[in-house]
Structure 1
Amino acid sequence: MNGVLAKYSLNTVCNEAGCPNKGECFTRGTATFLIMGKNCTRNCRFCKVAKAAPEELNPEEPLNIARAVREMNLRHTVITSVTRDDLPDGGAGHFASTIFEIRHLCPDVTIEVLIPDFQGDYVALKAVVDANPDIINHNVETVPGLYNAVRPMAVFERSLELLARVKERNGNLFTKSGFMVGLGEKEEDVIALLTALRNVGCDIITIGQYLQPSREHYEVVEYIHPGQFKKYEEIAQTMGFQYIASGPLVRSSYYAEDGFNYLKRANATAGGDV
């Protein structure tokens, strides 16, 4: 895995964010590609990704991603990015180009993109939606009441609007979001958050334990019991989410292919199109 990534000068969120599941995923031959450099323009206090001056976009990166996907024989690929508030379109065009190149070289691969909020720019969002990935993911990360403390440059309502607009633009796309627990939220906050996500048609939800990347990052307030994760899963099921992954080590892209395959089977059984 590291050899292929080095060959094409590619980054992964697995490495840059210090994901606890990296060893398992690399062993399985899966990774979440991180495009548009390693440096983020946001100052989220939970994230290990570097906060520094953004890098120049590599115009060869979309094609190199596609080449790596082909070389790794992936069936499902996840593409995410640092947040690039410095770019006029927030990097939406780069996402669209990456989707196009994968479709061209690997037409049978399903594509999931985990996108930033593009500062609420609907034209930018449309560029990604119209590139027609299979899943569009945008993580809300935490409950609204903790945004000022945990991700002060983000706006919860803007994230909700993004997920709603994806469905408005293309109702056939699956939408996905995820958040962490253990940051100081209460059960009623989580239930309200799940309700808000379901009200904008979110299909897939991931819930995982926050782990502090370093002493400089936001402190863990609580380690949530596995039984509470199960409870959140059951609550989400009653709300109508089509797929839920809830557990201490769940991350947004962890076993992402399993979630898509589940939805594909469920929709086929119901007579829908995927």
Structure 2
Amino acid sequence: MTTTSSTPYQRKPDWIRVKAPISSGYRETANLMREHKLNTVCEEAACPNIGECWEKKHATVMILGDTCTRACAFCNVKTGRPDLLDPHEPERVAEAVAKMGLAHVVITSVDRDDLDDGGADHFARVIRQIRLFSPGTTIEILTPDFQRKEGAVEHIVAARPDVYNHNLETVPRLYSQVRPGARYFHSLRLLEKVKESDPSIFTKSGLMVGLGETKQEIYQVMDDLRAANVDFLTIGQYLQPTPKHHPVMGYITPEEFEAYATMARGKGFLMVAASPLTRSSYHAGDDFVKLRAARERLLSN
């Protein structure tokens, strides 16, 4: 049963407990990230799936530094004045991707409101370098919203990632609490703009639940995303990183996640991933294969 009271839980339920990361594969991935001086959202955001993903050498690289210009209430990435851009980062990312032999890679970043283009050109350079080093690797990007950065989205789309992800994170009513620096309809418009610029690029967005939203609000967000022609929706349980962050207002059961997934499929998403431990890049490579197959089936009918 979903808990929606104003008193947050203090104990995580058994269905979201994970093992500590101790495998040799985990250590190899960690060493590779250090060797190439790369940041990962897996570490910075304290992702609960890091042990499983890194054991398989699946890491989500976080570019544009490790310091965000915003202070979202759900996020554990540090906030402050970022360092200057590293011009060699795109090459280092591409080298690491090639060394890991990835079939699919996810690239994300901090918000960089201090940059004229929000870091869009850096994203484009990373995409082009990965194509150069690993032409067979499919590329998924998870970008900030690029508010007041005219032309940023179009610049990235021109580099032709395979998947363009931008997370709405929560329902409109909670934006002032959870994403105070963002605007719900701006984020929706970003996703719509990607499809308008290049319909062949898959679009993707994610939601956290357990922040105090209602089911009806989640259903409305689903409708808004479908109106923007978004292909892929992820839904996962919000987990409070530290006592300073937004509290967990309820733990959503696996059965409720399955009900959300059923509803989302009924609304026309090509791909839906919904579970307590679902995150934007969790099983992203396997999901991309399913997403591509779903579109092929749709086009063949």
Q: TM tier, shorter chain?
A: over 0.9
List alignment gaps of at least 5 residues for structure 2: 1-28
Residue 24 of structure 1 aligns to a residue whose secondary structure is: helix
Structure 1: distance between partners of 2:239 and 2:253: 14
Q: TM-score, normalised by structure 1?
A: 0.97
Residue of structure 2 equivalent to 1:144: 172
Residue of structure 1 equivalent to 2:134: 106
List alignment gaps of at least 5 residues for structure 1: none
Q: How far 1:80 sits from its partner (Å)?
A: 0.2
Residue of structure 2 equivalent to 1:246: 274
Structure 1: distance between partners of 2:228 and 2:254: 27
Please say if 1:121 is aligned against 2:149. Answer: yes
Residue of structure 2 equivalent to 1:178: 206
Residue of structure 1 equivalent to 2:192: 164
Structure 2: distance between partners of 1:259 and 1:124: 27
Please say if 1:2 is aligned against 2:19. Answer: no
Contact residue 117 and residue 150 of structure 2 kept, 8 A: no
Q: How far 1:268 sits from its partner (Å)?
A: 3.2
Contact residue 120 and residue 162 of structure 1 kept, 8 A: no
Distance 1:176 1:120, change over 3 A: farther
The higher radius of gyration belongs to 2
Q: How far 1:168 sits from its partner (Å)?
A: 0.5
Please say if 1:208 is aligned against 2:225. Answer: no
Distance 1:204 1:120, change over 3 A: farther
* Superposition pairs of residues 38-57 of structure 1, within 5 angstroms: 38-57=66-85
Q: How far 1:198 sits from its partner (Å)?
A: 0.7
Number of matched pairs: 272
Residue of structure 1 equivalent to 2:8: none
Residue 77 of structure 1 aligns to a residue whose secondary structure is: strand
Structure 2: distance between partners of 1:133 and 1:116: 15
Contact residue 13 and residue 80 of structure 1 kept, 8 A: yes
Contact residue 70 and residue 105 of structure 1 kept, 8 A: yes
Distance 1:122 1:166, change over 3 A: farther
Distance 1:199 1:238, change over 3 A: same
User: What is the root-mean-square deviation of aligned Cα atoms in Å?
Assistant: 0.9
Residue of structure 1 equivalent to 2:263: 235
Spell out, residue by residue over 1:100-122, the C-alpha distance to the aligned partner (whole angstroms, 9 max, x if none).
00001100000000000111434
Percent identity of the aligned residues? 49
